[in-house]
Each structure stands twice: as structure tokens, then as C-alpha cells.
Amino acid sequence: MRGGSKVWSGEVYYGEAARAIRLPKLEHERFGAKPVFLAPRCAFRRVFADGEALVRAEVGIIGRELRSMVDSQALNIVSSLLGFQVEVQQRGRAAIACPFQNIGQSLAPLYLYATTPRSHHLDSLRAVQAGEPMIIVEHEDEISFRGRHIRTVGPPLEKKVYFAWGTSRGNTVGVWFLNRVELGATLTRELRLCLSRLHTERQVLKIVLGLIAAKQIRYVSHTESGENLERYLNEATRVISRDHFGSVNQKPLLEMINSCDNLVSEDERIVILEELDRVRRQVLKKVDAQMVPAASLSPPAITFQNVETVVFGRSGVTVERKETVEKQYNVNTSGQGNLVNIAEYMVGVTNTVQQNIQDAKVGSDAKELVTELMRRIADLSPTIDPAVAEQMGDDVKALSEQMKKVNPRREWYQLSLKGLKEAAEALGEVGKPILETVLKLAPMLVSGSPT
């Protein structure tokens, strides 16, 4: 595809990429781990371009045989997908095999050859580089979000859009979860377009700023190349910093991304400001606003590996060495350098549960039992493993969130109650009051809710 279209992000014009990106035996694969698998098939392979700096390759995967799952099981599916071996066509030679997550790196040379005059020495050019991958998961309320390694964005998308930030085989990966039931089809599509455009703009700006810091792109005022660079920087920062993309409030999405990833380091920022010293002041100010580091970056909370080597357990994510994972899991939410205090966490969960119960569509007996259950867990939390206390708090919160729905899902009740029951049994004598409360509550919730 040569050139491109200014409306590339609206999915109107695109280039077919089925011959460039091959997915051998995809429909024979099963992504995930027992007992939850995704039976995939390919929906599309396409390329978008704006004719200037931005190119985006998209691969759409549709899942079959889905069932209710918790967030850690959904992340297992993502991990399997990231490691799936694909084939990317190369100019003048056989296609090369690479993991799904590296499609961009393998596709960049092909795009360079397809869009550059043959007179250039292509092997010496760094004009086309791959950014970091992003995964968008659209679901219909199959996923129950419990873990602290997945965070919801701020209002007005709270509890409808979730984000996970992690590393996979040396690459940084952002995973977005969009709930089509809560958002509706129109807003879900607009969010997908917004996230895709925002991610692509930000990744390209990150690459360009890195090349400027390395002095491989030089700004020369009053030249055509200088004007082109200035125009690009002005447009890119405008798109990234705007408040809305159509009807989507972009601000909470950008805040979530910025809390995890800086565009440049402080040393690079100093060099870039010097290199762009003669750029128009308003443009330089917009560029610098994007380079200012976040007050406190959240470290990657998940390490994606091949599904055989990753286990998502009750206390978070266990990957290879437990001590490393615990440091990732107990992330600092206040930015002050202290681990999350379980007492403060329980206060927050208690307040959320109480608020949900006020709006619950169940009888007063069930409401009283959930309140009692939360109180017992909060009272016990200082004396037990914080990870267990947190897991139980998450389960009660998940229960209360289902209770306030008009049509609560029975399987979510069962999943949360099972987790609470198993945790209470594992605690032994001290967990008996919690176990008794769970056993009283279960028939009230499970028998009266739809499947």
C-alpha cells in the first residue's frame, strides 16, 4: 500500500495484509490453559497509513468456545497469542517465522521496500521502525476482573475499560479490555479506534524523539525537511493531547498509559530540547509537555511468557522466581515508595461493597450476610497472609458488583463463592466464621440468579 489516507483510523480505507502476514494452522490452536481455552480464527489482517509518518498493522482474532473466566485466565489466553508463531513475507526470499508479538518488527523491512524508490540504499535506512505492540480484547461480560495487576481507567469509563501493563519476551505490551455489554457497540468501536490511533501516534512520536536524541534526525530551520519535522511534531502532539476522540473522553486513557510509560528519559529530553531549540516556541512547548516524565511510573505488573511457564495464582502472577513476581505484584499505588497497606486496602474494599449493597437487587438477608462477610474478612486480614486477605476482599467486591446488576450472572456468583470457600477452608479454625457465612449466602445468590 503506497501513500495512505487521512481517514485511516476510521477503518474506511486500508490495505489487505493477508499475503504479508500468515497464520499457519491458527484454527487448530487453543490459546490459554486448562480449564479455559480460546479456539481462534482470523477475522482480518490489514494495514492503515496516513501517508506521512504513521503506519499500523492490525490482526483481528475471533474467539470461539468461550466461557466465563477470571482476568488471570484471560491473560493466559493473551500470553498464548503473543507467543503464537506466524510467518511474515520478505522481499525476494522466503517468509520468516516470528512470534505474533514481533509482527511489526518483521513487517517493517517489507513496508520500507514497498514504499521507497529503488535508488535509495535501503539497507542503510532506519526510516521504518516498529513500535511496541498493543492488544485490545473486546468481550461480552465473560471476564471477571479481580486482580490488582489489572486496573480500570478513571471516570466515565470506570469498570467498563481495564488495562494491563507488562512485558513479554523482552517487549513491553499493553492490553486493553473493553466490555461491549457495558459500553454498547457504538462506543466500543469508537474506543477501539481511539486506542489504536492514540497508541500508534504515541509509538511513532517515541521513535522520532529517540532518533532526534540520537542525532540521527536533525532539525534545520528554513528547510523543507525542517518544516516537515515541525509540522509532524505539531500534529502528533495535537492528536495525543486532545481531550476527545469523537465522543470518547481520551484523557483517562492517556493518563493510564502515561502512568506506565515515559516517551523519553530525562537525559534524552535535555538533548531533544537542545536539538529543537529553533523550532517554533508553541510547538516546542507541546513536545516538551509530552516528554515530561510521570510523577511515578508503575512498573510492569505482569510478565507474559509461554503458557507452559506462567501460572496465575490466587496471590497474583507467579513466573519463574517468586521473589521477582512479588515485587511486581505489590506495586506502589500512592507513588510514595511504600507497599500497599492491607488495612487501607480493606477500608477501600469495604466502602465499595457497602455502596454496591445499597443498590443491590437482592433481599435484605443476602445484603446482611455480605456485610457480615466483609466485616469478618476485614477483622481477620491483619493476622493472615496479605495476599490471601486481598484475594478474599476482591471476591467479596466481585460478589457485590454482581448483586447490583439487574441480571446478575450465576457463574460469577459461583466463582467468587468458590474462591471464598476454598480460602476460608485453607485458613483452618480461624476461617470457620467466614466459611459458615459463605455457606449461608450461597443458596440465596446462586438459586435466584440467571445462568
Q: Does the pLDDT of residue 338 top 60, yes or no?
A: no
- 95 against 332, higher pLDDT: 95
- In the predicted model, what is the mean pLDDT of the chain? 80
Same domain, 350 and 274: no
Q: How confident is the model at residue 307 (pLDDT cuts 50, 70, 90)?
A: very low
Phi, psi (degrees; rounded to nearest 5) at 253: -70, -45
pLDDT of residue 241: 92
d(CA 430, CA 380): 8
Is 325 inside a domain boundary? Answer: no
Same domain, 184 and 69: yes
Q: What's the angle, vertex CA 1, arms to CA 101 and CA 97, rounded to 5?
A: 30
Is 316 inside a domain boundary? Answer: no
Q: Does the pLDDT of residue 251 top 80, yes or no?
A: yes
3-state SS assignment for residue 243: coil
Q: How confident is the model at residue 373 (pLDDT cuts 50, 70, 90)?
A: very high
Q: Give percent of the chain with pLDDT exceeding 70.
A: 82
pLDDT of residue 323: 26
pLDDT of residue 434: 93
Is 43 inside a domain boundary? Answer: yes
Q: Give the distance from CA 246 to its chain's centroid.
A: 21
- 411 against 201, higher pLDDT: 201
Is 296 inside a domain boundary? Answer: no
pLDDT of residue 2: 39
Q: What is the DSSP string of 381-435?
A: GGGS-HHHHHHHHHHHHHHHHHHTSSS--HHHHHHHHHHHHHHHHHHGGGGHHHH
pLDDT of residue 449: 52
Of 205, 278, 190, nearest to 238 by C-alpha is 205
Among all chains, which residue has been given the C-alpha cell 481520551? Answer: 250
Element of type H or E holding 308: none
Q: How confident is the model at residue 387 (pLDDT cuts 50, 70, 90)?
A: confident
Give all strands (DSSP E) within 196-333, no chain letters: 244-245, 248-249, 302-304, 310-313, 316-319
- Domain hosting 430: range is 342-446
Q: Give percent of the chain with pLDDT exceeding 90.
A: 36
Same domain, 48 and 183: yes
Q: Does the pLDDT of residue 155 top 80, yes or no?
A: yes
Q: What is the DSSP string of 25-64?
A: TGGG--EEETTEEEEEEEEEEEEEEBSSS-EEEEEEEEEE
Among residues 250, 268, 291, the one where a domain terminates is 291
Q: Are 34 and 103 in contact (CB under 8 A)?
A: no
Counted domains in the chain = 2
Q: Note the pTM of the prediction, 2 decimals.
A: 0.68
Least confidently predicted of 23-27, 144-148, 204-208: 144-148
Average pLDDT of span 301-329: 36
Same domain, 224 and 351: no
Same domain, 136 and 226: yes
Same domain, 266 and 373: no
Is 312 inside a domain boundary? Answer: no
Is 104 inside a domain boundary? Answer: yes
Same domain, 174 and 282: yes
pLDDT of residue 5: 43
Same domain, 132 and 67: yes
Phi, psi (degrees; rounded to nearest 5) at 158: -60, 135
Is 125 inside a domain boundary? Answer: yes
pLDDT of residue 332: 32
Same domain, 270 and 346: no
Q: Does the pLDDT of residue 208 top 90, yes or no?
A: yes
Same domain, 75 and 222: yes
